[in-house]
Amino acid sequence: AQRVTQPEKLLSVFKGAPVELKCNYSYSGSPELFWYVQYSRQRLQLLLRHISRESIKGFTADLNKGETSFHLKKPFAQEEDSAMYYCALSGGGGSQGNLIFGKGTKLSVKP
Amino acid sequence: GAVVSQHPSRVICKSGTSVKIECRSLDFQATTMFWYRQFPKQSLMLMATSNEGSKATYEQGVEKDKFLINHASLTLSTLTVTSAHPEDSSFYICSARDRVGGPYGYTFGSGTRLTVV
């Protein structure tokens, strides 16, 4: 079964501390993995996708197929990073399939 | 970048009436659009996949006669909540995808807050 698991509902860190938001997935084929961010009262925005291997706003995420994980990391958290973060999966290999979302992790960065 | 426009952002309607929500891709063609529902403090739940020129594919447990989806063009999909009831009150979000492997991936609308009184 296709599934995305974000084990932490809430993650609270101090400004300047490293942050890691965990994401594990279950998928039988070759999925496409995404991280989306939703700031307060704003729409979902794409943060990262694993195929582009970019670093956005200091965040990185590496797809680990052995551990079926796609954890989101940032070495030094900022207050403006406080938001809801959703890990999502889509069937790869030419699929136009829908996104399957994790339950989300609320990141709170304290001053 | 890709933009998806969703209207209205907020609507209050009386029980028993119908409400139409529009989702437009502004600068790209979207052969596939997705409709989600988000309950407070919960994740997005896929309701249906809308394909241009064909019938929508509904997820299990979603009433197709209640949530009518029309994807008449490559840039417009509509969701009509028919005979709305208070339990239909929720946050509805649409999403569109450009071509597979395209630069934009999935782009989301700003959502519609529906309140049925």
Query: Is the pLDDT reported for residue A85 higher than 50?
Result: yes
B117 part of contact set with chain A, CB < 8 Å: no
Strand partners, B20: B80
A1 part of contact set with chain B, CB < 8 Å: no
Query: Encoding tokens for residue A39?
Result: 């700031």
Backbone phi, then psi, for B49, in 5-degree steps? -110, 125
For B58, name the nearest residue in chain A, comparing CA atoms only. Answer: A98
Q: What's the CA angle centered on A100, arms B74 and B8, to 5 degrees? A: 50
Q: How do residues A19-75 score in pLDDT, each as one tens digit?
A: 999 999 998 878 889 999 999 888 888 898 887 777 788 999 989 989 999 999 999
**Cβ pair A96:B100 closer than 8 A:** yes
Evaluated on CA atoms B30, A4, B42, A54, the torsion sign reads negative
Residue A59 near residue A71 (C-beta atoms within 8 A): no
Q: How do residues B29-43 score in pLDDT, each as one tens digit?
A: 887 899 999 988 788
Q: Average pLDDT of B16-30?
A: 92
**Cβ pair B43:A90 closer than 8 A:** no
Compute the distance between CA of residue A21 and CA of residue A8 in angstroms, rounded to an integer. 8
Residues 6 or more apart whose Cβ sits within 8 Å of residue B19: B11, B13, B80, B81, B84, B114
Q: Which residues of A touch B97 (CB under 8 A)?
A: 96
